Structure 1
Amino acid sequence: MQQPTPPKASVARVDAGAPQRPAYACSHCQACGFNNFPPADVCPKCWSEKAELQDLSSQGVLYSYTTIGSADALQYVGYVDLPENVRVFGLLNTKQAPVCGVPVTLSAVRAPGSGPCFVFDLTARQGA
Structure 2
Amino acid sequence: MIKKYKIYWGELVLDLYDCDPKIIRSKEKILEYTNKICNLIKMKNYGRPIIERFGFGKDFSVGYSLVQLIETSSITAHFSELSNRAYINIFSCKLFNYKITAEFTKKFFQAKKLKKRVLIR
TM-score by length of 1: 0.28
> Highest Rg: 1 or 2?
1
The structure with the largest strand share of the pair is 1
Highest RCO, 1 vs 2 (Cα 8 Å, sep ≥ 6):
2
